[in-house]
Structure 1
Amino acid sequence: MSGPSRRTLARRLEAVADFSEPSASLEQYLTPADLAAHVCHLAGLHDDLDRPVLDLGTGTGMLAIGASLAGAERVVGVDVDPDALALAGRNAAAVGTGPIEWVRGDAIRHPFALTDGTVISNPPFGAQHGNRHADRAFLEATAEIAAVSYTIHNEDSQSFVESFAADHSATVTHAFRAPLPIGNRFDFHTRSEQTLDAEVFRIEWR
């Protein structure tokens, strides 16, 4: 699938607005435009946007919007928070995308009868709650519905993700680090900003 360049994607995604009142319990952060553009551009290069695309825990809609801009014809963004879905809808309208379905629901208890989709997701890390690998539940849901996935995880997650994939007879085909700036937005944050070395994985499940 041919589509816009990564730079063009990033430039357009810079218009995606952040949460005005983010929820700490839902770990609501804005996925950086550069990172979203990188992931969605890579998915386009591998023709993974030819399948239905699902953004589990869509939040601001950044990844769903990026997938639509990169050429995906069917995109669904799922989130448990109705305010997040409203924001995602406004962001899609502001950026100017193709049609995106916004579905309110728990991403880890999804309603989709699908086994060949593409999941693109920035799941919660769980780090600040002491709940290591809160992203496991998202991977379990992904394993049920995806032929391929692109997921963003906390630093030092590679052994966990590779082990999870192996347990599900899946293959990690790409793994790379990407800077993920985290601003001071919650009471437990002690720095004005910190940057994590997030880890991104492309997994072939079938």
Structure 2
Amino acid sequence: MKLKQLEGLLGGLQQFTAPKVELEQYATGPHIASRMLYTAENSFDDITGKVVADFGCGCGTLSVASSLLDAEHVVGIDIDPQSLELAQENAADLELDIDLLQCDIKNLNLRGLLVDTVVMNPPFGTSRKGADMEFISMGLKVASRAVYSLHKTSTREHIKKVAVRSCNALSAEVLCELRYNLPQTYKFHKQKEVDIAVDFWRFVPRPRDEGSTACPGTNLKQRRMHR
């Protein structure tokens, strides 16, 4: 699939109608989402034929993009049931088979769960400090190949230091700097839109036999949503 075709299909997806500020819900636009997944596949062969997890999947944009690029299996994970319903509708509209799981990422039961690639546009940590690093940490525990993620450019040095020192990343590389056009979404937003500099990261997890620790399972109620 060509990049423009992918972007066009993502542009037709339903988006948040009542986003939740406490979850920092902002839709990943089709321009950025298509380039994230296209780069992950064409530069690193991390999507097609792979098992992909979309952390904090929201409306399912990155999940849909992964499926359109022929991932072997895609699972979208989010704490918010309304977001998962939107993701379910988006997948159904394009006749895509995507597993959806209601779960808090930081409490994700890892027992027996291992994917090739994690893709995500996590909270920036504005509403709850450290939320961004929780997503990175869990992604590196789950993925065997790579974690792709967006983070504010202003946090670049912090992200790299913590990812390598505390989250067991073998490497942390900024693939490019993007401009994230953030529309006026919440009442406290004063401007119609804000242009934010964000980094597109690729984190490579350390092989499991090189110092990583096993993660215990948790007693967590997980709700799967089926089309």
TM-score in terms of structure 1 length:
0.91
| CA positional deviation for 1:98 | 3.0
Post-superposition offset of 1:161: 2.0
Say yes or no: does 1:111 pair with 2:109.
yes
Measure how far apart 1:169 and its partner are: 4.2
3-state SS of the aligned residue for 1:163? helix
| Of 72-81 and 165-174, the range deviating more from structure 2 | 165-174
Is contact 1:68-1:97 (8 Å) kept? no
Aligned to 1:29: 26
Give 1:49-128 correspondences, 5 Å limit. Answer: 49=47, 50-94=49-93, 96-112=94-110, 113-127=112-126
- Alignment partner of 1:41: what SS? helix
Deviation at 1:198, TM superposition (A): 1.3
Structure 1 runs not aligned, ≥5 long: none
Aligned length: 200
Deviation at 1:117, TM superposition (A): 2.4
Separation (CA, whole Å) in 2 of partners of 1:115 and 1:163: 25
Give deviations 1:86-129, integer Å, cap 9, x for gaps: 001111122x15310011111222123334521000000122x3
Alignment partner of 1:166 out of 140, 164, 169: 164
> Which has the higher mean CA deviation after the structures are superposed, 115-124 or 70-79?
115-124
Give yes or no for contact 2:56–2:76 (8 Å, CA) kept in 1. Answer: yes
User: TM-score, normalising length from structure 2?
Assistant: 0.83
Q: Percent identity?
A: 28
Alignment of 1:136-155 (within 5 A): 136-147=133-144, 148-155=146-153
Asked whether the equivalents of residues 52 and 115 of structure 2 are also in contact (C-alpha less than 8 Å), the reply is no
Q: How does 1:37-48 map to 2 (within 5 A)?
A: 37-45=34-42, 46-48=44-46
SS at match of 1:117: strand
Deviation of 1:137 after TM superposition, in Å, equals 0.7
Q: 1:123 to 1:84 in 2, by over 3 A?
A: same
For residues 132 and 143 of structure 2, what CA distance do their matches in structure 1 show?
Answer: 16
Task: Choose 1 or 2 for highest CA Rg.
Answer: 2
C-alpha RMSD over aligned residues: 1.5
Q: Alpha carbons of 1:164 and 1:18: their partners in 2 closer, same or farther (altered >3 Å)?
A: same
Residue 17 of structure 1 is matched in structure 2 by 14
Q: In the alignment, residue 70 of structure 2 is paired with which amino acid?
A: G
Shift of the alpha carbon at 1:174? Answer: 4.2
Q: 1:162-190: per-residue Cα shift (whole Å, max 9, x none)?
A: 11232114212443111111111212211
- State the distance in 1 between where 2:201 and 2:134 align: 16
Find out whether 1:196 has 2:196 as its counterpart: yes
SS at match of 2:117: strand
- State the SS of the aligned residue for 2:17: coil
Q: Which deviates more from structure 2 when the two are superposed, residues 117-126 or residues 42-51?
A: 42-51
- The answer to which of 157-166 and 139-148 deviates more is 157-166
- Counterpart residue type for residue 41 of structure 2: G
Distance change in 2, residues 1:79/1:111 (3 Å): same
Contact 1:114–1:146 (Cα < 8 Å) also in 2: no
Post-superposition offset of 1:132 = 4.0
